[in-house]
Amino acid sequence: MKKIVVDLLNNDGGEEALIEASLKFAFENKDYFLYLVGHEELIKKINTKKVGNIQIFNSTNLIHIESSPREVLRQESSMLEAFNVLKNEDADAIISSGDSGAFTSLSFFKIERLHPEIKPAFMPVMATVNEGQKMLLLDAGANLDVTSETLINWAKIATLYYKLLIENKEKITVGLLNIGSEDYKGSLLNQETNKNFKISKNNFIYEGFLEPDDAIKGKVDIVVTNGISGNIFLKTMESSFLNVLKLLKGIFYKNLKNKFAALLLKKDLKKFKERYDYRNTGGAYIAGLNKVVVKAHGSSDSLAFYSALQQVKNAIEKNLTEVLKKEIEAWND
């Protein structure tokens, strides 16, 4: 029996959508057992099919950080409760759509690392404008200060994630996000890391410095950078795409003529929108930990959360944690 802990609170779009998705997943996957942390009464009410392979942990406190990440350990919350359940029940995975900062902090505090010297990282799966090409970005906001060694270790780990969970290509390519593609450009850290990448023993092809445009065009499979640049890149890209689409919607609804034109384009525009919809790119992994840890999007609807659960399942079926552990041990021999 595979076990997944689900934090149901903290979703911008409400708890119901997550409960529905979780029950649907449990109903369809009888070899899985789900620990649902949230409003007990509400879960029972929605569970009209009497799905049996679940256990409810009643929790009604939303997580809320005011001044420091360590607060997550001091206040009662469904998210903290979920991490306690993960440990006590020795579950395989944990998933939440709550606050990224809180979730990442709790993951770091509560779950063992795969290797003591490798920092965990917040790693979303992102769509690129190169059709079908997905990329992993790390770190997207959890680690603000990093070393050259950390960045190279992340590239190695992300390569395993990519091959195992996204596409088993022979050659995985990695780029280092920078403010220019020339070797002399960027911070001292980036210059040092660029040199070290070129001489280190890698399980990927290092493509050198990468500008945002290269990343957006899907030139590489994995983009590494510190948490500040990664977060700014991720949020700027997400916001730009969403805002352009919103502006276009305004044009399409402007008058009858435009509405008619939009109708003709409807099918293609829908396909386009879906391609860049977070619900179809999946959640973010917290990479480098001894459990499967997935952060679903903060405003997940039922479909988005169900997809994220499938993503968790995929990682469990592929034995992600064991494969990673073995590979990392081999590097350090």
Pairing of strands 134-138, 121-127: antiparallel
Instruction: Assign 292 to helix, strand or coil.
Output: strand
Classified as helix, coil or strand, 247 is helix
Q: Rule CB under 8 A: choose which of 2, 115, 185, 325 binds its own copies.
A: 185
Please state the closest distance from residue 274 (CB atom) to its own copies, in A.
13
Closest CA to 308 of 18, 10, 14, 47: 18
Output the smallest distance, CB 168 to its own copies, in A: 27
Relative to beta strand 93-96, strand 2-7 is: parallel
Figure out which of the listed residues 229, 300, 307, 321 binds its own copies, where binding follows CB under 8 A: 229
Q: Distance between CA atoms of 277 and 246, rounded to whole angstroms?
A: 13
- Binding residue for its own copies (CB under 8 A) from 120, 124, 175, 227? 227
Sheet holding 134-138, edge to edge: 54-58, 32-38, 2-7, 93-96, 292-295, 284-287, 121-127, 134-138, 222-224, 173-177, 205-210
Q: CB nearer to its own copies: give 96 or 231.
A: 231
* Residue 98 in contact with its own copies, rule: CB under 8 A: no
Q: What character string, x for contact with its own copies (CB under 8 A) and - otherwise, covers 45-84?
A: --------------------xxxxx---------------
Of 184 and 330, CB closest to its own copies: 184
Find the binding residues for its own copies in span 237-296 (CB under 8 A).
Answer: 237-241, 243-248, 251-252, 254, 257-258, 260-262, 264-265, 268-269, 272
Is there binding between residue 41 and its own copies (CB under 8 A)? Answer: no
By beta-carbon proximity to its own copies, the closer residue of 290 and 299 is 299
Min CB(133)–its own copies separation in Å: 13
| Number of residues in contact with its own copies under rule CB under 8 A | 55
DSSP string across 7-55: E-S--TT-HHHHHHHHHHHHHH-TTEEEEEEE-HHHHHHH-TT---SEE
Report the C-alpha gap between 52 and 270 in whole angstroms.
Answer: 37
What phi, psi does 228 have (nearest 5°)?
-75, -55
DSSP code of residue 254: S
List interacting residues with its own copies (CB under 8 A): 65-69, 101, 129, 141, 144, 177, 179-180, 182-187, 211-213, 216-217, 227-229, 231-233, 235-241, 243-248, 251-252, 254, 257-258, 260-262, 264-265, 268-269, 272
